[in-house]
């Protein structure tokens, strides 16, 4: 960290925040007798009674409703990881779900094929986890399933899981589970899906697609733009602490996942997973309107991440158009800006390894192209990071809801799971305590100190006032007013919800990846 330029290092107060949080968490775990314990939990109730130092209304709701299929499906849209679910226009050949299997869970008078044609079937596919190297604990590799989960949207707008396969190759040892199977079987296989989802969430959707992408953009910006360049002025507030926070993030985010994250045998699980996803990452997948369309999620109801995110994307895009219009009145200014061209070429060739299949631009010809790309950069480093980070304590602190580690192999036959099986599969007491505390550290700043030591810089704030032109100042003010209007609509909507979706409220979105 000491090698970083002084302007991107942590301030004294920010460094203190991390040190204090770490020591406070360690002391808490020791006080409760959780630190280093390798014992399994005696019961789910004992886990609930012990992990109670910190809480939130949503976390309490999760702990009470995590078994419910309707709430389980809801989380794929509005939980901490809304980035994996997609419409299922055709059943995968390696997921042989039949009409007979799922008919009891469909609306009366319809069929599986009819519901597919109506667009009411959705899929979460974790194929990228297949064959990854995982941590070895007590001589056994930790299990990680390349699961498939089919979800059904009924006429009430409720999304529920109706079929789960814990592997990519169906067989007698890899059966398809359905909700009518024994209750504990169904509960355990749902936990294995959420374990797979948690690993993709932390390593890809969170670490790679926000933290590490922000690092790519930040390094290229500092490398190619002088501080008087309008894009330097516009973008650097969105890289506050990015390089320093990523040094910590590589350790904190990867530690509890169960994957091998340090290179001892070459093909470590964490890096291999990121290689796989980077090879498949497209420019359109980073642009929210395109991403939503590509996943076929334009019309699914009660998708608050989409609704709030698209409003923010539009507001950011309008803001960027106005700002860049001051400095690039025509396309000629874009094509003639050598610093701008070197910036995007560096991002394309070094950040995305020159992968032309990604659709990542290698140069800019028009103002519109620059505006879209800069919109993506700002959205990624602010709103998208908030969406996949801020809800971690709410949805992950109750460990069975989103376990980052599981200890026993997945079930291969039906009717064999007991509560003892589930408790032996969940993380042990020590790992559960660490996981819960990490979730709090990542997503919550200590309230009593927040205003004094660690003031947030929220989306739309430019406290360094790099733009001196009256027109630019007015554009920033207009942007802030539009964000306030979005916030009012979110608050009004949330007042009608059992579980408010708050992670894209502008007042709670940091301007950069700084936590």
DSSP 409-425: PPPSSTT---HHHHHHH
Residue 494: band (very low, low, confident or very high) from pLDDT cuts 50, 70, 90 = very high
Sort strands 148-153 and 121-125 into parallel, antiparallel or unpaired.
Answer: antiparallel
Q: How far apart are CA 368 and CA 376, in angstroms?
A: 12
* Both tokens assigned to 271: 């890096």
Q: Taking residues 290-312, report their average pLDDT.
A: 98
Phi, psi angle pair for 460, to nearest 5°: 95, -5
Q: pTM of the entire structure?
A: 0.90
In the predicted structure, residue 256 carries a pLDDT above the cut 80: no
Element (H, E) at 136: strand 136-137
Q: What angle do CA 131, 137, 139 make, to 5 degrees?
A: 85
Asked whether 34 and 427 are in contact (CB, 8 A), the reply is no
C-alpha–C-alpha distance, residues 106 and 96, integer Å: 17
Average pLDDT for 443-460 = 57
Which pLDDT tens digit goes with each residue over 104-148?
999 999 999 999 999 999 999 999 999 999 988 767 788 999 999
| Locus of tokens 């408010």 | 500
DSSP 142: P
User: 44 pLDDT band (50/70/90 cuts)?
Assistant: confident
Q: What is the mean pLDDT of the chain?
A: 88
b/e burial code for range 416-432 (CB count within 10 A of at least 16 → b): ebeeeebbebbbbbbbb
The least confident of 161-165, 259-263, 272-276, 293-297 is: 259-263
Is 277 annotated to bind ligand?
no
- Identify the weakest region by mean pLDDT among 168-177, 407-416, 437-446: 437-446
Looking at residue 266, what is its pLDDT?
Answer: 36
22 dihedral zone (left: phi>0; alpha: psi -120 to 50; beta): alpha
Positive or negative: CA dihedral 486, 316, 462, 441: positive
Is 285 or 457 the better-scoring residue by pLDDT? 285
Tell me the average pLDDT across 369-387: 98
Nearest to 386 by CA among 459, 334, 453: 459
Residue 39's pLDDT band (cuts 50, 70, 90): confident
Q: Looking at 45-54, 237-246, 434-443, which range is the least confident one?
A: 434-443
Q: Which residues contact 239 (CB under 8 A, 6 or more apart)?
A: 8, 214, 217, 218, 221, 381, 512, 513
At 52 the pLDDT is 58
Backbone angles phi, psi at 93, to 5 degrees: -65, -25
Q: CATH classification of 6-82+190-508, choosing from 1.20.245.10, 3.40.630.30, 1.10.1060.10, 3.30.450.40?
A: 1.20.245.10
Q: pLDDT-derived band of residue 16, with 50, 70 and 90 as boundaries?
A: low
Going by pLDDT thresholds of 50, 70 and 90, the confidence category of residue 514 is confident
Q: How far apart are CA 173 and CA 19, in angstroms?
A: 47
Which residue is it, tokens 């910036």? Answer: 343
Question: pLDDT > 70: what percent of the chain?
Answer: 81
User: Which pair of structure tokens corresponds to residue 95?
Assistant: 């997921």
At CB < 8 A and 24+ separation, what contacts does 131-140 make? Answer: 132/259, 132/269, 132/272, 132/273, 133/259, 133/260, 133/265, 133/267, 133/268, 133/269, 133/272, 134/258, 134/259, 134/260, 134/269, 135/258, 135/259, 135/260, 137/407
Tell me the C-alpha distance between 271 and 483, whole Å: 37
What single string gives the DSSP state of each residue in 43-106? Answer: -HHHHHHHS-SS--HHHHHHHHHTT-HHHHHHHHHHSS-TTS-EE-SS--TTS---HHHHGGGS
Query: Any bridge partners for residue 346, and if so which?
Result: none
Contact of 165 with 171, CB cutoff 8 Å: no
Residue 316: which pLDDT band, with cuts at 50, 70 and 90?
very high
Task: Give the pLDDT confidence score for residue 263 in this predicted structure.
Answer: 45
Average pLDDT over residues 52-64: 85
pLDDT digits over 280-292, tens only?
999 999 999 999 9
User: 461: part of which helix (H) or strand (E)?
Assistant: none
What sign does the CA torsion over 172, 177, 178, 179 have?
positive
Q: What is the pLDDT of residues 177-187, one digit of tens each?
A: 999 999 999 99
Lowest-pLDDT range, 36-40, 66-70, 279-283?
36-40
pLDDT band at 47 (very low <50, low <70, confident <90, very high): confident
* pLDDT of the residue at 492: 98
- Residue 211 known to bind ligand: yes
For residue 460, which of 473, 447, 444, 442 has the smallest C-alpha distance? Answer: 473
Torsion of CA 8, 276, 204, 269, to 10 degrees: -90
Give the separation between CA 405 and CA 428, rounded to whole angstroms. 9
Could you tell me if 88 and 150 are in contact, meaning their C-beta atoms sit under 8 angstroms apart? Answer: yes
- pLDDT on residue 447: 39
Q: Binning pLDDT at 50, 70 and 90, where does residue 33 land?
A: low
pLDDT at 97 over 70: yes
Q: Please state, in angstroms and as integers, the Cα–Cα distance from residue 510 to each residue in 55, 230, 382, 458, following that order.
A: 22, 21, 6, 4
Predicted confidence at residue 255, as pLDDT, reads: 53
Residue 43 is predicted with a pLDDT of 85
When mean pLDDT is compared across 79-88, 360-369, 403-412, the lowest value belongs to 403-412
- Output the furthest CA–CA distance in the chain (Å, rounded): 70
Among 227, 179, 225, residue whose Cα is nearest residue 72: 179
Euclidean distance between CA atoms 237 and 503, whole angstroms: 20
DSSP, collapsed to helix, strand or coil, labels residue 513 as coil
Please check if 515 is assigned to a binding site. yes
Mean pLDDT of the 398-424 span? 94
């Amino acid at each position: 960290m000491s090698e970083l330029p002084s302007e991107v290092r942590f301030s004294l107060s920010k460094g203190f925040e991390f040190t204090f949080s770490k020591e406070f968490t360690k002391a808490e775990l020791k006080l409760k007798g959780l630190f280093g314990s390798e014992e399994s939990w005696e019961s789910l109730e004992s886990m609930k009674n012990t992990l109670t130092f910190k809480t939130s209304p949503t976390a309490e709701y999760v702990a009470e409703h995590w078994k419910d299929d309707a709430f389980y499906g809801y989380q794929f849209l509005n939980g901490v990881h809304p980035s994996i679910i997609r419409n299922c226009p055709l059943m995968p050949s390696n997921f042989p779900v039949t009409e007979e299997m799922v008919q009891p869970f469909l609306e009366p008078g319809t069929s599986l094929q009819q519901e597919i044609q109506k667009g009411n079937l959705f899929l979460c596919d974790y194929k990228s986890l297949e064959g990854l190297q995982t941590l070895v604990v007590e001589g056994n590799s930790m299990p990680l399933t390349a699961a498939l989960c089919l979800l059904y949207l009924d006429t009430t707008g409720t999304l529920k899981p109706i079929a789960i396969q814990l592997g990519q190759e169906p067989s007698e040892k890899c059966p398809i589970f359905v909700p009518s199977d024994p209750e504990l079987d169904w509960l355990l296989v749902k936990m294995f899906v959420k374990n797979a989802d948690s690993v993709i969430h932390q390593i890809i959707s969170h670490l790679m697609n926000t933290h590490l992408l922000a690092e790519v953009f930040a390094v290229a910006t500092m490398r190619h733009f002088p501080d008087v360049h309008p894009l330097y002025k516009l973008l650097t507030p969105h890289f506050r602490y990015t390089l320093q926070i990523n040094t910590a993030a590589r350790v904190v985010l990867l530690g509890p996942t169960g994957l091998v994250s340090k290179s001892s045998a070459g093909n470590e699980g964490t890096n291999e997973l990121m290689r796989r996803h980077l090879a498949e990452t497209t420019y359109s997948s980073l642009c929210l309107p395109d991403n939503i369309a590509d996943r076929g999620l334009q019309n699914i109801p009660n998708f608050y991440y989409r609704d709030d995110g698209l409003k923010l994307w539009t507001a950011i895009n309008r803001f960027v158009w106005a700002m860049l219009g001051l400095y690039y009145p025509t396309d000629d200014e874009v094509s003639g800006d050598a610093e701008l061209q070197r910036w995007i070429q560096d991002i394309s060739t070094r950040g995305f390894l020159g992968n032309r299949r990604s659709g990542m631009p290698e140069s800019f010809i028009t103002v519109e192209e620059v505006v879209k790309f800069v919109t993506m950069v700002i959205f990624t480093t602010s709103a998208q990071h908030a969406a996949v980070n801020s809800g971690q304590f709410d949805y992950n602190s109750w460990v069975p809801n989103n376990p980052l580690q599981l200890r026993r192999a997945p079930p291969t036959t039906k009717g064999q799971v007991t509560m003892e099986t589930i408790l032996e599969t969940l993380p042990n007491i020590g790992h559960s305590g660490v996981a819960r505390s990490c979730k709090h550290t990542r997503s919550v700043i200590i309230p009593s100190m927040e205003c004094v030591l660690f003031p947030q810089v929220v989306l739309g704030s430019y406290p360094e006032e790099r733009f001196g032109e009256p027109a630019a100042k007015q554009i920033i003010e207009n942007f802030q007013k539009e964000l306030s209007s979005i916030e009012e609509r979110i608050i009004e909507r949330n007042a009608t919800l059992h579980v408010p979706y708050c992670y894209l409220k502008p007042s709670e979105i940091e301007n950069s990846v700084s936590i």
